[in-house]
Structure 1
Amino acid sequence: MAQLVVDLEALACLKAVQFALEIGLTRVVFEGDSAIIINALLHGASAMASFGNILDDIHMHSAVFQFVEFVHVSRNCNFFANALAKKAKSDVVVQVWLHDLPSDIAPLVLRDVH
């Protein structure tokens, strides 16, 4: 089960990178709470891991950005991402917010920034 979770974390990171490319971002910072995935992205020790091919795809896609950074953030410190994940799990339609955030999520952005 633990292996499946880390594989899903890698896939989520890949989807985030792909989405950033789709909407035309050029300078990005990807934050993740999986120390295994972030460390593998930063230090490249994933060739034999089940998620190695996914990380190869992340590196290939992220080479397009002018600036890219992968940062580990403790799950306890990332209230915004946690709230978004819960909201996405309960929503039946795909939603993208480029300018305005939902009123129930906006206060959490300020909490994460400060």
Structure 2
Amino acid sequence: MDHTRNPCGWSLRRYQGIVDPLVLESLACREALQLAASKNFKQVIFEGDSKMVISALRGGLVPLEISNMLQDVINLTQALQEVSFSFIRRQCNVAALSLASKALRDESFFVNPLTQCSFLISEMLV
């Protein structure tokens, strides 16, 4: 979202055979950075609900199983003028949770970006 709470972009992706939440959070972060780069954003605040991933991106201990993905994230940040990584509690991560939950329940939603946009905007107005 931008400073007026309008969505700037989002991505829904399924990773077959990956069930480790730490790996999935790392992949989501990398996906978000790739989205920001594709939109030529220069100043970005990434909020995530995985303390371990956010801590690692802020210079903390990097778990071995996500080290390559987080190195990709760090490399992608080089294209940005300003980037920060902030931890937020899961219950505050409304947009991500709502999109993921709806996509898991509704296959047609998963493949329809227009419906996703309408849904996201309606969720953010609540």
- Sort the TM-score into its range (normalised by shorter chain): 0.7 to 0.9
**Deviations 1:1-29 (Å, cap 9, x if unpaired)?**
xx821011101100110111112211111
How many pairs align? 105
2:85 aligned with 1:70: yes
* Aligned mates of 1:34, 1:21 — CA distance in 2: 22
RMSD, matched Cα:
2.4
Work out which of the residue numbers 78, 92, 95 in structure 1 matches 2:113. 95
Secondary structure, in 3 states, of the residue corresponding to 2:123? helix
Secondary structure, in 3 states, of the residue corresponding to 2:74? helix
2:53 aligned with 1:40: no
- Pick closer, same or farther for the CA change 1:70–1:96 going to 2, 3 Å: farther
Stretches of structure 1 lacking an aligned partner (at least 5 in a row):
none
2:94 aligned with 1:79: yes
Q: Which amino acid aligns with 1:39?
A: S
2:35 aligned with 1:19: yes
Stretches of structure 2 lacking an aligned partner (at least 5 in a row):
1-18
* Aligned mates of 1:17, 1:44 — CA distance in 2: 19
Structure 1 range deviating more: 80-89 or 63-72: 80-89
* Aligned mates of 1:110, 1:29 — CA distance in 2: 21
Structure 1 range deviating more: 18-27 or 52-61: 18-27
Secondary structure, in 3 states, of the residue corresponding to 1:51? helix
- Pick closer, same or farther for the CA change 1:96–1:74 going to 2, 3 Å: farther
- Pick closer, same or farther for the CA change 1:4–1:59 going to 2, 3 Å: same
TM-score, structure 1 as length reference: 0.78
1:88 Cα shift?
3.2
**Deviations 1:44-70 (Å, cap 9, x if unpaired)?**
421x52100100000000111011111
TM-score, structure 2 as length reference: 0.72
